Chain A
Amino acid sequence: GNSVTQMEGPVTLSEEAFLTINCTYTATGYPSLFWYVQYPGEGLQLLLKATKADDKGSNKGFEATYRKETTSFHLEKGSVQVSDSAVYFCALSEAGGTSYGKLTFGQGTILTVHP
């Protein structure tokens, strides 16, 4: 079956530091890959996505590149802000067949950014 593994958290950084959150996956087909963000007390919001190998998703200064050869989709940001403090989830979805858009999530990584 499909699975997503994220780096263990929590991650604590100072403002303007560089962020990397690792994500690797296993899938039987050719999945689409997503990063979702969850701010305290809220639901999940899509941060960025990539639908095929070598695609780069980007949004709000965050980036992630779909690497089929290493089955990875690592999240990066060059300079984090206090407002980036949240839980980040890596997820995959396979198109077609009986997948019906179901998402497989990683366990989430808590990010705390200090001023």
Chain B
Amino acid sequence: NAGVTQTPKFRILKIGQSMTLQCTQDMNHNYMYWYRQDPGMGLKLIYYSVGAGITDKGEVPNGYNVSRSTTEDFPLRLELAAPSQTSVYFCASSPPATGTSGKEQYFGPGTRLTVT
């Protein structure tokens, strides 16, 4: 069982370049999330999705776009890379909450992105 996988593991971009960070989960989870983690900081939510075709902004969406065409995949697109987007990016998934209990999220190993 692979869980949540992310590619690439590392990437260096020049300012203004574009790229897509890939995320795939094999747990049939409805909910998926993208976070960024800056050095010495906690995680901030970029975008999330509650199912195929449904996405919404999180806390820090500017400069990013997402799509969700299948349950399994949730790619994150950077259109015009800026140095402020240098960070570690984590994808996560979870099943929907049941009753009054929130569910834990399952995280991928992360993508370390440097924009120079």
A contact set with B: CB distance below 8 Å:
30-32, 34, 36, 42-46, 49, 51-52, 89, 92-96, 99-103, 105-108
Whether a CB of chain A sits under 8 angstroms from the CB of B20 is no
Whether a CB of chain A sits under 8 angstroms from the CB of B33 is yes
Whether a CB of chain A sits under 8 angstroms from the CB of B115 is no
Whether a CB of chain A sits under 8 angstroms from the CB of B27 is no
B109 to A43, Cβ gap below 8 A?
Answer: yes
Instruction: With A34-B104, A43-B108, A95-B98 given, name 13 new contacts (CB 8 A).
Output: A30-B100, A31-B102, A32-B101, A44-B90, A46-B106, A99-B97, A100-B50, A101-B94, A102-B33, A102-B45, A103-B43, A107-B41, A108-B42
B contact set with A: CB distance below 8 Å:
4, 31, 33, 40-43, 45, 48, 50, 56, 58, 90, 92, 94, 96-110
Main SS class of interface, A: loop
C-alpha spacing A40/B105, complex, angstroms: 19
Q: Which chain B residue lies CB-closest to A93?
A: B102
A95 to B42, Cβ gap below 8 A?
Answer: no
Which residues of B sit under 8 angstroms from A34, Cβ to Cβ? Answer: 104
B42 to A94, Cβ gap below 8 A?
Answer: no
A95 to B90, Cβ gap below 8 A?
Answer: no
A selection of 30 A-B contacts at a CB cut-off of 8 Å is A31-B102, A32-B101, A32-B102, A34-B104, A43-B90, A43-B109, A44-B43, A44-B92, A44-B107, A46-B106, A49-B104, A92-B102, A94-B102, A95-B97, A95-B98, A95-B99, A95-B102, A96-B97, A99-B97, A100-B31, A100-B48, A100-B50, A101-B94, A101-B97, A101-B102, A101-B105, A102-B33, A102-B48, A105-B43, A107-B42
One of A43, A44, A46, A95 near B101 (C-beta < 8 A): A95
**For the complex of A and B, 10 pairs with smallest distance between CB atoms:** A93-B102, A32-B102, A95-B97, A43-B107, A105-B42, A51-B101, A44-B107, A107-B42, A46-B104, A95-B102
Most B Cβ at <10 Å: residue of A46, A103, A105, A106: A103
B100 to A95, Cβ gap below 8 A?
Answer: yes
Which residues of B sit under 8 angstroms from A108, Cβ to Cβ? Answer: 40-42
